[in-house]
Structure 1
Amino acid sequence: MFKPATLIIAMAAALSGCQTTNEAPKPVVEKEIVVKQAVNNEAENAKLNVLLEAYFQQSSDLAPMYGTYLGEEKYFSQFDLPVFEARAAYTQLVDNYRKQLSEIDPNKLSGQAKLSYDIISRDLELAVRAREFPNILLPINQMEGLHNELAAFGSGESAQPFNTVADYRAFLARAKGFKPWLESVKEAMRQGTEQGVTLPKPLAMKLVPQFAAHVVYNAEDSLFWQPIKRFPVGFTAAEKAALVAEYKEAIMTDIIPAYRDMAEFLEEVYIPKCRTSVGFSDLPNGKAWYQLQIESHTSLALGADEIHDIGMQEVTRIRSEMEKVREQVGFNGDLQAFFKHLRDSDEFYFDSAEAVIKAYEEVKKTIDAKLPLLFDVAPKADYVVKAVEAFRAESAPGASYQGPSADGSNPGIFYINTFNLKAQPKFIVETLSIHEAAPGHHFQIALQQEIEDLPSFRKFAGYTVFAEGWALYAESLGKEMGLFSDPYMWYGRLVDEQLRAMRLVVDTGLHAKGWSREQAIAFMLENSSMAESDVTAEVERYIAWPGQALSYKLGQFKIRELRDYATSKLGAKFDVKAFHREVLIDGAMPMPILEAKIKAWVAAQL
């Protein structure tokens, strides 16, 4: 387990030795100043750390569904507050901690505490700025919502434990909070229809099957019945009988009706009033709202037009690399014909979901053996490969990662979506595994959780631009690790990079330049060999999460820029393992803070 060093005492000791014989009184004064400064810094550091732990705990208390991933038992029986209550509570929380933070002197902070101060200050400022926009009127979409989280928990396949009778009853208590929360979601969406702030119609329509999937006529046919089918050894007959009756009652009288009512609300009330446009720029104050989304997700001061242009340049560059692969494999035809060949030829696709999972399990072994070439730190937690659950597969991305539990009892999960085998070509196995697992998301997120003495809000926080930027940067390390030797696997790497480049174009096109959903789909099909179903899901994801998809390429650019900077400044002293360690050892953070940290690290070696 890597523990970042605290340098203040060492610095004080070094400075106290800087004495000369011709100015005897002065060093004594310097020594006293340095010692006092060290004491002041430690006191202010401790004050900030107490504040940060309280902030994290209170934030988690407001989001017990998220808190479940931390493995804290107190959250297992709780559901999140209804959305309007949650907003009021969070507003109060932010204002309270901004006030407390103003009482901290940043000039007296050092080491991790200074980094934490810079990070939390930015987070709270963005939270205040977000109040200008009616985010609450868009409480769910086809990509995220506690309706899917509850189903994942209730299936027994996620973070919700089902090991004891108390665990089983904790979930029943949690499920009681679902209907009140869902009623508040309906009210927020009703208000959205009145204020012209709704989901685009295609996205709202994708929500219907997510709710309808849980409408069954027998409790035994429900996803929520799965824990009953898998009672742990040791439950008595009486305990089992009681739980069977309680679960049947909860599923039939609480859970299923809530899902059914929401499906009907969407079809009968919400969808008929949804907007036909797709971009944020079409919403009230939408351009400013989108710009805040860009800043929130990327942490960079870039405008939509600049990002769009960067994306177009990258798409052109990567297409030229794809042309080289086409020539290398001897394909007769232009790039579009090559794309069609890769989409349509069965040789490039698996014939079963089981074969997909097996391929990723095999490449895991290969990559794990090569990681020491570029890294001298690694997480203790392992990860497993699983197929995305059927109830959410249609709208889920092609792959995703879920971090390990905080206590290490559950491994990380690398989810592969096997809903459409044509969306999982064989040639992306290496690059997708690098991105989602090691040394990408699993490496970064699991390692972050294991760092000693890191404040909890940083152990478990995520910054899209850092996490996704790192994962895409990790893909670029494939050749350095001896991967991508097969030209088709290298093409798979280009496919993944092209996807991220296209996102710069499409996200800004949709939300700032008036692009339609169909125009965005056509652009992606023109510039990649992705399956149309995969492209459609991607485009609808960008519509639902404005700005999020920009983080990948922009984060990768910044990390690569910092590596180039360190290489040029340090020359022969540059050690790639040390660079990777320095990027990872303090957890995720906004890019400007990472940049300042890396440049200080470089300067210390000169």
Structure 2
Amino acid sequence: MKKSSAAIAGACIIFAAAVPSHAAPAAAKAATRAEARFKSLYTEEWAWRLRQRMEDEEDDVHGNGIRPSLPRVDPATQQARLDYWRNVMRRLDAIAPASLSAGERINYAVYRAQIAALIDNQRFREYEKPLNADSAFWSNMAGDARKTFRTAAEYGAYVAQLNDVPRYFRDEIANMRAGLKRGFTPPRVTLAGRDGSIAAVTGEKDPQKLVFYKPFREMPASIPADEQARLREAALKAIREAVVPAHEELLEFMRAEYIPGATEALAAESLPDGKAYYQSKIAEFTTTAMSAEQIHQTGLAEMAKIRAEMLDVMRQVKFEGDLPAFLQFLRTDPRFYAKTPEELLMRAAHIAKRFDGKVGDYFGYLPRKRFAIIPVPPEQAPFYTSGRGGPGVYLVNTYNLPARALYSLPALTLHESAPGHAFQMPIALEQKGRPAFRKAYISAYGEGWALYTERLGAEMGMYETPYEVFGMLSYQAWRASRLVVDTGVHAKGWTRERAQAYLHDNTALSAHEIETEVDRYISWPGQALSYYLGEMAIVEARKRAEAALGARFDIRAFHDTVLNLGSVPLPVLRTRIDDFIAEGGKSPYPKED
């Protein structure tokens, strides 16, 4: 049963069909029955998915809840998931979207695209490649250690989880070995040095210094002292006897088998059933039916527009020289770089607070959840992006300060904190009356929104110098160039060196960032395409709304409408803005008296 970009696009196109207002009572009854079947299906599947311990869902649903075990990832479990989701898709296909109410048609389009992507991930056995140049299952596992623990039961569950690490790691190693056997691995060049985060665990002699012990360093006073002592001793025992040996076994496997045996080819299309596999990644991350060639040509066209804007900034600052010379100047002049990690963090905090002074002019509904600004953990920082944000946090990478340009920091901060990820994600989670599956993140929407906010920063007056405007444009070029580089590598035979040269010649990114970014695109096919295509969809939607509504257009109502949707496929966003226009540009939130 083939589910690809056509399946996702089909689900979204079907969404546009509407039940006529003059529908007969019989049609209304049929719609009620269809909605009941649909609700029963997604409610049942979501409960099953949670029991499956799908890692991507857990934080959204359980918050700080700590589980006493790690996910099951063995082949039998993976096949059962594929069979289950294929059955879900068959049941979905038996429900006519046109028979659903407007709200449920949105849910249907989101849900069907989600199930199609899950099927494709299982069908192509994505679980046999549980790592890329950006992240890996062992580094992701440390996330629970950074949560806030409140009860003895949570601490006890976490100790049990630590004791489950050997089983979990062995299952992941078995999956990776199966992928290795059939040539389904990240390219070898992107794995260089990625074993360092494993070695950091095995090389530490004091288990109390490892991240896994972090929750036990300061425990709530509500837990009796003798209970605290018992839990601390149990944690140290689990780290010494389970966690560290599991990492030692993993390190041996990585160095002796996996990295030496990993595929040398870069292209996703060189993997087993590669063309279909890459198209499935395009569908998953862009929620469109675009081909690799269409995306590549879009990227080239957008890069030409951005380059013209860059040249305008160069003229403003009266730079004598061409674009490569200007980029070299930006990469090397010390005035553009922080001297200490604290300076970088403080500049990020200042930018975030400056946005707070402008927010009311551009947004009506504000999220309740605040966010902290913290440095990227040192064990991840060398291979991590410049920053990353989400509910409650804006991570700033303070590693290798000469690679972290201050002129790009305003754009980065808008993207990763507010009004980007640390703003949009909480708003999505705060919406009431929606199925739990709507909390899942869709990259084209979420990353598209965050990139849109970088452009919005110019409109808001967030860029105080032409250099900061250029930093924003460089970031726009960075994301547009991903359309060229990702498709170039995975569908057109580009080398790693050619991809790096393209970023070097068209953005102000540092050499370190260019290397880590290109390796990320190579090892994570399709993900990099979501950003710019998502931004283009939001910009296009806004232009249509402005043209149609004229003086009635309210930027706050438009932004509130986009954010109120939560993560949705891009065709769903387009249709919602059509409705926004038809409604006269009305905000989704009632006005307060």
TM-score greater than 0.5 by the shorter chain: yes
Which whole-Å CA distance do the structure 2 matches of 1:480 and 1:327 have between them?
20
Over 3 Å counting, the alpha-carbon distance change for 1:68 and 1:446 in structure 2 is closer
Which whole-Å CA distance do the structure 1 matches of 2:274 and 2:34 have between them?
41
Q: Deviations over 1:129-178 (max 9, x none)?
A: 44542323212223233311222322xx23xx422222111111112332
Counterpart in the other structure of 2:3: none
1:136 aligns with 2:127: yes
1:114 aligns with 2:94: no
- Among residues 193, 196, 207, which one is paired with 1:206 in the alignment? 193
Which whole-Å CA distance do the structure 1 matches of 2:86 and 2:357 have between them?
48
Instruction: Map residues 205-224 of structure 1 onto 2, 5 A cutoff.
Output: 205-215=192-202, 216-224=204-212
Instruction: Map residues 163-242 of structure 1 onto 2, 5 A cutoff.
Output: 163-215=150-202, 216-242=204-230
Deviation at 1:188, TM superposition (A): 1.8
Which whole-Å CA distance do the structure 1 matches of 2:65 and 2:48 have between them?
13
Counterpart in the other structure of 2:557: 578
Moved more, 515-524 or 34-43: 34-43
Moved more, 519-528 or 572-581: 572-581
Instruction: Map residues 232-311 of structure 1 onto 2, 5 A cutoff.
Output: 232-311=220-299
Counterpart in the other structure of 1:593: 572
Over 3 Å counting, the alpha-carbon distance change for 1:421 and 1:74 in structure 2 is closer
Deviation at 1:497, TM superposition (A): 0.3
Which whole-Å CA distance do the structure 1 matches of 2:556 and 2:60 have between them?
30
Asked if 1 retains the 8 angstrom alpha-carbon contact of 2:31 and 2:101, the reply is yes
Q: Deviations over 1:408-460 (max 9, x none)?
A: xxxx10111111212221111221111112112222211010011011110x2
Alignment-mate amino acid for residue 176 of structure 1: N
- Among residues 314, 332, 336, which one is paired with 2:324 in the alignment? 336
Moved more, 63-72 or 594-603: 63-72
Q: Deviations over 1:177-220 (max 9, x none)?
A: 32222112212222222212222112223321121111122322
Counterpart in the other structure of 1:486: 465
- Secondary structure of 1:386's aligned partner: strand
Q: Deviations over 1:332-387 (max 9, x none)?
A: 33222211111111110111111111111111111012111122122111111111
Give unmatched runs, 5+ long, in structure 1: 1-10, 16-29, 404-411
Asked if 2 retains the 8 angstrom alpha-carbon contact of 1:64 and 1:78, the reply is no
Asked if 1 retains the 8 angstrom alpha-carbon contact of 2:113 and 2:287, the reply is no
1:95 aligns with 2:82: no
Provide the aligned length of Structure 1 versus Structure 2.
566
Q: TM-score by structure 2 length?
A: 0.90
- Secondary structure of 2:192's aligned partner: helix
Moved more, 142-151 or 441-450: 142-151
Q: TM-score by structure 1 length?
A: 0.88
1:323 aligns with 2:304: no
Counterpart in the other structure of 1:373: 361
Asked if 2 retains the 8 angstrom alpha-carbon contact of 1:401 and 1:415, the reply is yes
Which whole-Å CA distance do the structure 2 matches of 1:111 and 1:382 have between them?
32
Counterpart in the other structure of 2:139: 148
Counterpart in the other structure of 2:35: 45
Which whole-Å CA distance do the structure 2 matches of 1:544 and 1:534 have between them?
15
Which whole-Å CA distance do the structure 2 matches of 1:494 and 1:73 have between them?
38
Which whole-Å CA distance do the structure 2 matches of 1:306 and 1:107 have between them?
30
Counterpart in the other structure of 1:22: none
Alignment-mate amino acid for residue 257 of structure 1: P
Moved more, 511-520 or 224-233: 224-233
Alignment-mate amino acid for residue 176 of structure 2: M
Alignment-mate amino acid for residue 179 of structure 1: P
Alignment-mate amino acid for residue 565 of structure 2: D
Deviation at 1:34, TM superposition (A): 5.8
- Secondary structure of 2:388's aligned partner: strand
- Among residues 511, 516, 527, which one is paired with 1:548 in the alignment? 527
Deviation at 1:270, TM superposition (A): 1.2
- Secondary structure of 1:300's aligned partner: coil
1:433 aligns with 2:413: yes
Over 3 Å counting, the alpha-carbon distance change for 1:99 and 1:300 in structure 2 is closer
Deviation at 1:509, TM superposition (A): 0.9
- Among residues 95, 109, 116, which one is paired with 1:125 in the alignment? 116
Which whole-Å CA distance do the structure 1 matches of 2:543 and 2:518 have between them?
32
- Secondary structure of 2:393's aligned partner: strand
- Secondary structure of 1:120's aligned partner: helix
- Secondary structure of 1:401's aligned partner: strand
Identity of aligned residues (%): 31
Over 3 Å counting, the alpha-carbon distance change for 1:339 and 1:72 in structure 2 is closer
Alignment-mate amino acid for residue 149 of structure 1: N
Counterpart in the other structure of 1:531: 510
Which whole-Å CA distance do the structure 1 matches of 2:205 and 2:540 have between them?
57
1:60 aligns with 2:50: yes
Deviation at 1:98, TM superposition (A): 2.6
Over 3 Å counting, the alpha-carbon distance change for 1:415 and 1:83 in structure 2 is farther
Which whole-Å CA distance do the structure 2 matches of 1:476 and 1:284 have between them?
39
Alignment-mate amino acid for residue 550 of structure 1: L
Instruction: Map residues 427-466 of structure 1 onto 2, 5 A cutoff.
Output: 427-458=407-438, 460-466=439-445
Deviation at 1:279, TM superposition (A): 1.4
Alignment-mate amino acid for residue 495 of structure 1: S
1:424 aligns with 2:404: yes
Moved more, 581-590 or 80-89: 80-89
Over 3 Å counting, the alpha-carbon distance change for 1:400 and 1:435 in structure 2 is same
Alignment-mate amino acid for residue 365 of structure 1: K
Which whole-Å CA distance do the structure 2 matches of 1:225 and 1:75 have between them?
14
- Among residues 537, 551, 554, which one is paired with 1:558 in the alignment? 537
Asked if 2 retains the 8 angstrom alpha-carbon contact of 1:204 and 1:266, the reply is no
Which whole-Å CA distance do the structure 1 matches of 2:74 and 2:398 have between them?
33
Which whole-Å CA distance do the structure 1 matches of 2:396 and 2:580 have between them?
37
Alignment-mate amino acid for residue 336 of structure 2: F
Over 3 Å counting, the alpha-carbon distance change for 1:72 and 1:436 in structure 2 is closer
Alignment-mate amino acid for residue 467 of structure 1: G
Counterpart in the other structure of 2:374: 386
Alignment-mate amino acid for residue 288 of structure 1: A
Which whole-Å CA distance do the structure 2 matches of 1:129 and 1:141 have between them?
18
- Secondary structure of 1:376's aligned partner: coil
- Secondary structure of 2:70's aligned partner: coil
Which whole-Å CA distance do the structure 2 matches of 1:117 and 1:371 have between them?
33
Which whole-Å CA distance do the structure 2 matches of 1:68 and 1:504 have between them?
30
Over 3 Å counting, the alpha-carbon distance change for 1:136 and 1:146 in structure 2 is closer
Give unmatched runs, 5+ long, in structure 2: 1-17, 586-593
Asked if 2 retains the 8 angstrom alpha-carbon contact of 1:454 and 1:586, the reply is no
Larger radius of gyration between Structure 1 and Structure 2: 1
- Secondary structure of 1:585's aligned partner: helix
Counterpart in the other structure of 1:313: 301
Deviation at 1:43, TM superposition (A): 5.4
Asked if 2 retains the 8 angstrom alpha-carbon contact of 1:218 and 1:252, the reply is no
Deviation at 1:36, TM superposition (A): 6.1
Which whole-Å CA distance do the structure 2 matches of 1:531 and 1:207 have between them?
20
Which whole-Å CA distance do the structure 2 matches of 1:442 and 1:542 have between them?
24
Deviation at 1:105, TM superposition (A): 4.4
1:359 aligns with 2:350: no
Alignment-mate amino acid for residue 367 of structure 1: F
Deviation at 1:35, TM superposition (A): 6.0
- Secondary structure of 1:213's aligned partner: helix
Deviation at 1:587, TM superposition (A): 1.3
Asked if 1 retains the 8 angstrom alpha-carbon contact of 2:303 and 2:477, the reply is yes
- Secondary structure of 1:477's aligned partner: helix
